[in-house]
Each structure stands twice: as C-alpha cells, then as structure tokens.
C-alpha cells in the first residue's frame, strides 16, 4: 500500500474553489486515495479564513494534521492568527520530512504549499529522495520543481473542483506507479473520513428516471404557480414568464440527469446546461436524454483527458464544455424531433383516454394510485406522467388525482383519528400527519399505520380515491400535486369544482374511518363467548 502525505494550504484562488471548506476538500482526497488503495499517512494543511491573496497576519487560520497517527482522519490541531502558523507547523514539517527520508512516505499531494517557510523541510526531503509529487498552485509548484523535486503532474486550480482535483491527484500517482485506479465519484462528507459513498455502479446502472423527476418537481411547481397567478386580473403578463419557464424545463432535467450519471459536481452541471439548452426542442424527454448523454460523455472525456495527462483546468473545460456541446448537437440535429414525438404521443394517449371516458379514466387512476405508491412505482411511473402533462399546459389530470386520491384521503384518515381515535395515543400520531397533508400537500405515508391496522380503512381509502378520480373526470378538473391543500383549487383549471371534490373525498374518508374505528373498538370491548357463558 502506497503511503501519501497531503501538504498545502487553502491558498489564494484555491480558497474560492474548495479551499474555504478544508474538511470537504481533504475528505475528497481521502475518498480517492481509499479507492486507489493508498494510505494517507501524513497531513499538514493550513486553512485560513480568507484567501491568501487578501489575508493579513491577523487573519484567523487553522492547521489540519493527523494528530492521532496514521489511519485516522485529519483534524484541526491549531487555531490562531495566520502570523503564528509558521511556528505552529514547524514540528509537523520536520516530522513529515523525517518520514520521507525514512521511506515512510511514497508520494506527496500538494495544494498551494509554502516551500520557502511552512513546508521548507518537507520539500528539502522530497528533493533529496525524489518521491513523486502531484499538485496545484502555479507559483508554489514552480518553486518545488526548481528545487529539484520530482514533480510528475501539476496544474492550475481555475475551473477545478475539490472532487476533480482529488481524482486528478490520485490518477496521476496511480499512473506513475503503474497501478489500477477507478475514481470513487460518490464523494466524501468529512475530512479524512476514508469512506466515500461511491456507488461503484457503471454509468448505465446509475440512470434512474425517478431520481431525475423528483428533484425536478419544484421547477414544475414554480411554473404552475406562475400560470395560476397569470389568471388573476392585472397579472396577465405573467403568462410570458410561464412560457419562459416552460422552455427552461428541459434544461432543468438535463442538468439533473447529467449530474446523476457523471457525479462530477460543477463539471457535470455545466455540461448538462449546455446540452439542455440545445435539447429544448425535444421537450421534457429530450432534456432527459440530452442530459444523460452529456453525463456519459463527461465521464468518458474526463477519464480520457486524465489518461492523456492534460492539466486539470483543461480536463474540466473539455469534459464540461465539449461533452455538453456534443450531446446537445446530437439532440438538436438528430434526437430532439423523436423525443418530442414520444412526449406528444404519451400526452396524446392520456388525452385520448380522458376523451373516451373521463369518468372511467378517473376511476381507474384513483383505484390504482394507492397500490402504485405502496408498491414503490408511483415516482417511477405516475410522477413522470404528471410532469409530462404539466409540460404542455401547466396542469395535470393525474396531478389532481394525486391531490384528491392520496392527499385528501390521507387527510381524512388522519382527521378521523384525531376526532375519534381507537386509542388516545393515535391522535398524537395523526395530528402532525394531518397538518402536513393540508399544509404541504404531501406525507400521505402518515395514513399507513391506520390503513394497515384496519382493513376497512384500507379498502375505504382505495374506494374514495376511485370516487375522487371519477368526480375529477366527470367535472374535467386538472390540477397540481405537492402544493398546500388550500392552494390546490386555485392552481387547477376550475377552483370551485376542485375544492368541492377535495372536500367530498376528505369528509367521506373521515366518516368511513370514524365508523371503522368505532366498530373495531366495540368488537375489541365485546366479551368473548366463554366469558358470556360463565356469567350466565
């Protein structure tokens, strides 16, 4: 196992690109070292509370070291003025230099180091032993190379992130030693935690429509809010804002898709934006496909550039810019028309079903929606359909079914268990559930305990959800999910009818649950036949 020392500071330009968060910066390096099979055996990292370009002697600063020996995570072992740091790190500097000379350090990762003062002994030892060095920081790395040290890879910090720098450092050392290394792009949450959450999955296995759609939901809600507000007299001009937001939705999902696949933070975000802008004509599906292509290209180009030993700044430019452009051009000239056609056919299928029999369509949607969420397929199947509907008009029939069939049914069950619970303790459980149902239009899972404990409640939930869907179909009501219940009617195409359907379903579910609770309580308190016989 190769042993690594991390040397440096939060730097000038580096401070604005990750150096201001030393724990995350060091944690990313630890995650990549673990993935490569390296051991971080020493750390001397000076973290100032301001960029070194603007720092003063009185600026607060800390020093991160391995105070408890090797194999532990880096901790802040000193905190004081920047002017006093050089004295505070003198012993650590000498100790790491001794380890280098004794062969206990095989390589150095350097970031904005100070080879003339704070790290003088380390780099003297490195020049003597010729241990390989990788790092960033133009001035410091030039001084280190001039001293005769063995610099195998160097780069600037512009355009880089803590994760891409860490990957570059470890990839360069692994290549120098002829070792296999697969980047851990799951990241790390704390300095030296030694446990990145890297998924270890292939690019295609990381593709998950559910985890693209759910984070995108706030954007669709924002669009629906603007559309609802545009119907208020005097605010008609907001319809122009709605049109702009509508065009931005493909960009939104493209960014999320690219980030999900590549897991390269800002690099993948930039790539997703470029691809998304060029995928706008493909609609929502076009944005997703463009983002996925961008994410795949980002990873491929990123690793290719690392293998070619490009400077890290160039790696990010190529991976983020070229990959997004390539994916976007493929979408714009080839796939966007097909993606738009697919989205239109899906929306046409929903519209045709509603046109054929809106009552039947509503009934089926209402009956299916609870089993779908219980089976875990709601967010993978129904939510994408909701968002596709909203992409066209800002409203969704399935979104209205969600609000009525899930949220209002759950609210009715929770209300019943506040008014007439089987046991007093259940009221305390139901109260926060009801408040979240009505106040935020979510947390339908709060009804699960009552549904699973009583088959009558479970069956009535599905029945009244189906009834709500029928009424929505009959009145031709479309709406939005995941909004407060009192706002939902005003974000539908018919506020009065939406409000009536919501109230009917909630009240009927509440009544059915109260009756079920009372019946079960009577049965529970009824003496058994044996007890009755003995009394006689």
Confidence at residue 220, expressed as pLDDT on a 0 to 100 scale: 87
**Reported confidence tier of residue 202, pLDDT bands at 50, 70, 90:** low
Q: What is the mean pLDDT of residues 498-505?
A: 97
**Reported confidence tier of residue 195, pLDDT bands at 50, 70, 90:** very low
Residue 534: pLDDT over 70: no
Angle at alpha carbon of residue 356, lines to 352 and 359, rounded to 5°: 115
Residue 523: pLDDT over 70: no
Q: What is the mean pLDDT of residues 269-298?
A: 94
- Per the structure block, which two tokens stand in for 55? 């720092």
> How far apart are alpha carbons 472 and 470 in whole angstroms?
5
Residues 6+ apart with CB under 8 A from 426: 417, 450
Instruction: Pick the closest to residue 67 from 78, 57, 83 (CA basis).
Output: 78
Q: In the 3-class helix/strand/coil scheme, how is 470-497 assigned residue by residue?
A: HHHHHHCCCECCCCCCCCHHHHCCCHHH
Q: Hey, how many other C-beta atoms are within 10 angstroms of the C-beta on 513?
A: 30
Residues 6+ apart with CB under 8 A from 99: 5, 41, 42, 105
Q: What does the domain layout of the chain look like in residue ranges? A: 3-177, 205-355, 357-525
Residue 528: pLDDT over 50: no
**Reported confidence tier of residue 533, pLDDT bands at 50, 70, 90:** very low
The dotted CATH code for 3-177 is 3.40.50
Confidence at residue 404, expressed as pLDDT on a 0 to 100 scale: 97
78: burial class by Cβ within 10 Å (0-12, 13-18, 19+)?
Answer: middle
- Per the structure block, which two tokens stand in for 412? 């009715």
Confidence at residue 335, expressed as pLDDT on a 0 to 100 scale: 94
**Reported confidence tier of residue 54, pLDDT bands at 50, 70, 90:** confident
- Please state whether beta strands 39-48 and 150-155 pair in parallel, antiparallel, or not at all (unpaired): unpaired
Segment of 282-296, 344-358, 388-402 carrying the highest mean pLDDT: 282-296
Residue 112 sits at φ, ψ, to 5 deg, of: 45, 55
Q: What is the mean pLDDT of residues 474-489?
A: 92
Residue 190: pLDDT over 60: no
pLDDT tens, residue by residue, 357-382: 999 999 999 999 999 999 888 877 88
Residue 275: pLDDT over 90: yes
Which DSSP helix (H) or strand (E) runs through 255? helix 238-262
Residue 414: pLDDT over 90: yes
Confidence at residue 201, expressed as pLDDT on a 0 to 100 scale: 59
Confidence at residue 382, expressed as pLDDT on a 0 to 100 scale: 87
pLDDT tens, residue by residue, 90-106: 989 999 999 999 999 99
**What pTM did the predictor assign?**
0.77
pLDDT tens, residue by residue, 109-122: 999 998 988 899 99
Confidence at residue 524, expressed as pLDDT on a 0 to 100 scale: 57
Residue 530: pLDDT over 60: no
- Per the structure block, which two tokens stand in for 62? 């800390």
157: burial class by Cβ within 10 Å (0-12, 13-18, 19+)?
Answer: buried
> Chain-centre distance of CA 312, in angstroms?
25
- 386 contacts 402 by C-beta, under 8 angstroms: yes
> How far apart are alpha carbons 429 and 418 in whole angstroms?
9
Residue 205: pLDDT over 90: no
């Amino acid at each position: 196992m190769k042993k690594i020392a991390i040397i440096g500071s939060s730097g000038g330009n580096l401070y604005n690109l990750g150096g201001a968060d030393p724990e995350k910066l060091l944690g990313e390096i630890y995650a990549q070292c673990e993935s490569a099979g390296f051991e971080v055996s020493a750390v001397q990292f000076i973290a100032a509370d301001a960029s070194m370009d603007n720092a003063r002697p009185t600026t607060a600063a800390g020093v991160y070291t391995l105070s408890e020996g090797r194999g532990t995570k880096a901790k802040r072992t000193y905190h004081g003025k920047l002017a006093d740091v050089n004295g505070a790190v003198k012993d650590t500097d000498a100790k790491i230099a001794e380890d280098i000379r004794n062969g206990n350090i095989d390589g150095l990762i350097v970031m904005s180091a100070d080879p003339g003062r704070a790290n003088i002994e380390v780099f003297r030892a490195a020049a003597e032993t010729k241990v390989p060095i990788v790092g960033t920081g133009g001035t410091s790395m030039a001084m280190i190379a001039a001293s005769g040290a063995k610099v195998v890879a160097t780069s600037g910090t512009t355009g880089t992130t803590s994760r891409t720098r860490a990957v570059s450092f470890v990839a360069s050392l692994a290549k120098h030693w002829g070792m296999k290394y697969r980047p851990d792009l799951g990241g790390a949450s704390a300095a030296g935690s030694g446990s990145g959450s890297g998924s270890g999955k292939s690019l295609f296995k990381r593709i998950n429509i559910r985890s693209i759609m759910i984070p995108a939901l706030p954007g669709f809600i924002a669009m629906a809010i603007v559309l609802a507000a545009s119907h208020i007299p005097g605010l008609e001009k907001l319809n122009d804002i709605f049109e702009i937001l509508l065009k931005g939705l493909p960009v939104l999902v493209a960014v999320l898709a690219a980030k999900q696949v590549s897991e390269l933070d800002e690099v993948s975000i930039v790539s997703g934006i470029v691809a998304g802008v060029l995928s706008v004509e493909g609609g929502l599906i076009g944005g997703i496909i463009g983002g996925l292509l961008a994410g795949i290209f980002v990873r491929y180009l990123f690793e290719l550039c690392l293998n070619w030993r490009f400077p890290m700044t160039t790696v990010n430019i190529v991976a983020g810019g070229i990959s997004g452009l390539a994916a976007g051009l493929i979408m714009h000239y080839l796939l966007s028309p097909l993606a738009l056609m697919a989205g239109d056919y899906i929306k046409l299928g929903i519209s045709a079903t509603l046109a054929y029999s809106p009552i039947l369509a509503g009934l089926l949607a209402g009956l299916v929606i609870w089993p779908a969420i219980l089976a875990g397929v709601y967010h993978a199947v129904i939510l994408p359909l909701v968002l596709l509907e909203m992409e066209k008009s800002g409203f969704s029939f399935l979104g209205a079914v969600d609000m009525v069939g899930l949220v209002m049914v759950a609210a009715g069950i929770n209300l019943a268990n506040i008014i007439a619970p089987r046991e007093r303790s259940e009221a305390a459980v139901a109260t926060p559930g009801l408040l979240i149902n009505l106040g935020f239009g979510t947390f339908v899972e709060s009804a699960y305990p009552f549904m699973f404990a009583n088959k009558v409640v479970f069956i009535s939930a599905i029945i009244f959800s189906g009834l709500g869907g029928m009424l929505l179909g009959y009145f031709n009501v479309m709406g939005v999910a995941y909004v407060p219940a009192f706002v939902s009617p005003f974000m539908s195409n018919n506020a009065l009818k939406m409000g009536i359907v919501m109230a009917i379903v909630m009240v009927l579910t509440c009544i059915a649950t109260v009756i079920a609770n009372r019946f079960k309580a009577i049965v529970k308190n009824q003496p058994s036949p044996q007890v009755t016989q003995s009394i006689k």
